[in-house]
Amino acid sequence: MTNEEIQQYHQKVVSEINKVKAFIIELEEATEPEVPDNAIGRISRMDAINNKSVVENSLRENKQKLARLQTILEKYGSSDFGKCTRCGTDIPFPRLMFMPQSTRCMHCSA
Protein backbone atom coordinates (compact mmCIF):
# COMPACT_ATOMS: atom_id res chain seq x y z
CA MET A 1 0.00 0.00 0.00
CA THR A 2 1.10 3.53 -0.63
CA ASN A 3 1.43 6.00 2.23
CA GLU A 4 -1.75 7.75 1.06
CA GLU A 5 -3.67 4.45 1.09
CA ILE A 6 -2.33 3.66 4.56
CA GLN A 7 -3.59 7.04 5.80
CA GLN A 8 -6.99 6.54 4.16
CA TYR A 9 -7.29 3.06 5.67
CA HIS A 10 -6.28 4.36 9.10
CA GLN A 11 -8.95 7.06 8.89
CA LYS A 12 -11.52 4.47 7.77
CA VAL A 13 -10.68 2.19 10.73
CA VAL A 14 -10.96 5.08 13.22
CA SER A 15 -14.25 6.20 11.65
CA GLU A 16 -15.62 2.65 11.74
CA ILE A 17 -14.60 2.24 15.39
CA ASN A 18 -16.54 5.39 16.29
CA LYS A 19 -19.61 4.19 14.37
CA VAL A 20 -19.51 0.73 15.96
CA LYS A 21 -19.09 2.19 19.47
CA ALA A 22 -22.14 4.43 18.96
CA PHE A 23 -24.16 1.50 17.60
CA ILE A 24 -23.13 -0.70 20.54
CA ILE A 25 -24.47 1.94 22.95
CA GLU A 26 -27.80 1.92 21.09
CA LEU A 27 -27.94 -1.87 21.15
CA GLU A 28 -27.12 -2.01 24.86
CA GLU A 29 -30.00 0.36 25.55
CA ALA A 30 -32.30 -1.80 23.42
CA THR A 31 -31.39 -4.94 25.38
CA GLU A 32 -32.20 -3.46 28.78
CA PRO A 33 -35.00 -5.40 30.47
CA GLU A 34 -38.45 -3.96 30.06
CA VAL A 35 -40.90 -3.81 32.91
CA PRO A 36 -43.71 -6.26 32.16
CA ASP A 37 -46.94 -4.48 31.51
CA ASN A 38 -50.21 -6.17 32.36
CA ALA A 39 -51.74 -4.76 29.19
CA ILE A 40 -49.21 -6.59 27.02
CA GLY A 41 -50.52 -9.82 25.58
CA ARG A 42 -48.81 -13.19 25.36
CA ILE A 43 -47.99 -12.79 21.66
CA SER A 44 -46.55 -9.32 22.22
CA ARG A 45 -44.42 -10.69 25.05
CA MET A 46 -43.11 -13.50 22.83
CA ASP A 47 -42.38 -10.98 20.09
CA ALA A 48 -40.47 -8.80 22.57
CA ILE A 49 -38.43 -11.81 23.71
CA ASN A 50 -37.61 -12.69 20.09
CA ASN A 51 -36.64 -9.10 19.26
CA LYS A 52 -34.39 -8.96 22.31
CA SER A 53 -32.64 -12.13 21.17
CA VAL A 54 -31.99 -10.62 17.73
CA VAL A 55 -30.65 -7.40 19.28
CA GLU A 56 -28.40 -9.36 21.68
CA ASN A 57 -26.95 -11.30 18.74
CA SER A 58 -26.28 -8.06 16.86
CA LEU A 59 -24.67 -6.62 19.99
CA ARG A 60 -22.35 -9.63 20.29
CA GLU A 61 -21.37 -9.40 16.59
CA ASN A 62 -20.66 -5.67 16.85
CA LYS A 63 -18.51 -6.16 19.95
CA GLN A 64 -16.48 -8.73 18.01
CA LYS A 65 -16.17 -6.31 15.08
CA LEU A 66 -15.01 -3.57 17.46
CA ALA A 67 -12.36 -5.88 18.93
CA ARG A 68 -11.05 -6.72 15.44
CA LEU A 69 -10.95 -3.04 14.47
CA GLN A 70 -9.10 -2.10 17.66
CA THR A 71 -6.56 -4.87 17.03
CA ILE A 72 -6.04 -3.54 13.51
CA LEU A 73 -5.62 0.00 14.85
CA GLU A 74 -2.94 -1.22 17.28
CA LYS A 75 -0.94 -2.45 14.27
CA TYR A 76 -0.94 1.03 12.69
CA GLY A 77 2.61 2.03 11.88
CA SER A 78 3.91 -1.53 11.98
CA SER A 79 4.81 -3.67 8.99
CA ASP A 80 1.76 -5.89 9.71
CA PHE A 81 -0.76 -3.08 9.10
CA GLY A 82 -2.97 -4.07 6.15
CA LYS A 83 -1.43 -7.52 5.79
CA CYS A 84 -3.11 -10.92 5.86
CA THR A 85 -2.74 -12.58 9.26
CA ARG A 86 -2.46 -15.99 7.61
CA CYS A 87 -0.15 -15.61 4.59
CA GLY A 88 1.36 -12.15 5.23
CA THR A 89 0.56 -10.65 1.82
CA ASP A 90 -0.99 -7.20 1.44
CA ILE A 91 -4.78 -7.24 1.62
CA PRO A 92 -6.08 -5.40 -1.48
CA PHE A 93 -6.86 -1.77 -0.68
CA PRO A 94 -10.46 -1.90 -2.05
CA ARG A 95 -11.21 -4.84 0.28
CA LEU A 96 -9.82 -2.93 3.26
CA MET A 97 -11.93 0.11 2.45
CA PHE A 98 -15.07 -1.99 1.98
CA MET A 99 -14.50 -4.20 5.03
CA PRO A 100 -12.03 -2.38 7.31
CA GLN A 101 -12.22 -5.23 9.84
CA SER A 102 -10.69 -7.64 7.29
CA THR A 103 -7.69 -9.50 8.66
CA ARG A 104 -7.24 -11.93 5.76
CA CYS A 105 -6.83 -11.63 2.01
CA MET A 106 -9.51 -13.04 -0.31
CA HIS A 107 -7.55 -16.26 -0.88
CA CYS A 108 -7.14 -17.03 2.83
CA SER A 109 -10.71 -16.01 3.67
CA ALA A 110 -12.17 -18.59 1.29
Which residues is 83 bridged to in the sheet? Answer: 90
pTM of the model: 0.79
pLDDT digits (tens, 9 = 90+) for 67-109: 999 999 999 989 888 899 999 999 999 999 999 999 999 999 8
Q: What are phi and psi of 79, to 5 degrees?
A: -70, -15
Asked whether 6 and 80 are in contact (CB, 8 A), the reply is no
**Integer angstrom CA distances of residue 7 from 15, 73, 76, 79:** 12, 12, 10, 14
Own/partner contacts of 80-86, CB < 8 Å, gap of 24 or more, are 81/6, 81/9, 82/1, 82/6, 82/9, 84/108
Q: Hey, what domains does the chain have and what are their CATH numbers?
A: 3-109 (1.20.120.910)
